Structure 1
């Protein structure tokens, strides 16, 4: 699989050599493919093509950066093997099972019964050599000038940024998706051709929200309740998660009716019924939006500041690491571009920095370097 960072490099280089007409043609084709391919991946492709053609990146600087990265690969690998000896070779030979959620299992904790033992790295431990070639390319290219700190510097690039802010990043992406689903629900009455896109986006939102709510209920909230002074502070939010399920079930019923109706020719009485169902679906989506945005807002105002107050950075790292450890690799391949599409370059850097920091010496750390 080609890492996204390397793919970005290739697309920007290619786009820089396009004429204006060629660039517009490719950009239009990317837009047309939005309903077919992953929307977030398509948006990344669009931005890379546009950036390459606009000339925002100097080709000469781009060439020098690539030469530096490629020439440093051999020396990095040589130092890595010399420092780690046979254990490094054994680690490199391990295959990563992309259909399970053991990404946060440390290499040393691999046992025959697949017992997961997550050990987040202590603050202050510095990894001197990155054995993953793709990580060196990906962070340098994807974050470009926003990566202002050394890879070996474990101080957070933004002093106000803390590990639990990962949740705020996820909330930001959820808000964007909720708004998009509501937007699509408005268009359904005018164009039944976008029903498939709505179906896909709605179920993606449902899946991501369930994943997030589950990680809060089973990891973050119990951590809060473990502090004597914070008992029962999260109970109402768990109840909210149950209420969210009812909203999605209601929308699913309307969506199922619309899908079955669309199979017939929507004319006369059926057309009127279709429009009425679209209106009910839209109202249900608006109701869901109000519930979810209010829930997220109150969480961020009332609940998540408690992590800053009562949990050390190390404790927060462990919580975030455990939340990540619940997610299968194939889901992360969808979630990472989804998150990145909603974040600013600085936020993207903070998030990737956090993930690498809290999962150091784990399978997730190695997988992330190879994939992203």
Structure 2
């Protein structure tokens, strides 16, 4: 059996030859210099410093040498790999900087050119209508009053002269909050704000109460379980039905352009006398028998109104022999439909900005 090879000369192993090692280094440096992008430099790095690169393969040959020859061969290959890595690092910095410069040059923005702006949002038509109605009343010298949406049953019904067996108190119409013994509910109208105002403020009172209300209604094209109202209340000395008519005529004219209102006898627990208020058709003014807006009769049902019931004044601690007042209320959502020709209330709660943009002329 022959012994180990102790006279193995590393110079005779081609990959470990000094000239061959220098050639590998030169080839690597040349490949790095020819790379002009980060991607090209990555390919050159894998080719000349990866596991299958010439220097990596030469390094593997060192293990086959006798112990006496390994030191010299290892030093030669180690220095060569160090030169290659140094050259790679330097070239990587140069290529990265050059590529950044090219990117900055190509992405330069001329700020003097017209820009295409991101499409802006739009005021929701209901919000716009609420703001417009509020502006009209503020311009008349009224105040805007607000109250909680979670309301006490007494303020929502009892203070407004609703008897205990009134149908509006049934669970089929009103959203009560458990436990029922708490007598809390989601307000069915903004009238509790009027009751709160009469209890808390000094007279006279001239307020408008816009806000969100809740009913146990179906969700369809003409009904929503959550919708919006605006109610008005005046309590002062010498207030009559004539003041109510003048106020509603002014509101209708401002909202719909020069139209008037009419009253039809009705009943509400909190007003006496009471009336349904109709809006003159702002499309045909009653002159088109085929008008789709009013059905050809020239009038559109708008809301309810009346003189404040003395029982409501007494419940709020006001002497009805000294003070009188009027109140009214109408739906904001229906007003948007009238004013803009919207046909489906569900469109107002879908959150599609295109719907809001399509309804122009809402906000001032």
- TM-score tier by shorter-chain length is under 0.3
Higher strand share: 2
Q: Which has the larger radius of gyration?
A: 2
Q: TM-score, normalised by structure 1?
A: 0.20
Q: Looking at both structures, which has the greater relative contact order when contacts are Cα pairs under 8 Å and sequence separation is at least 6?
A: 1
Higher helix share: 1
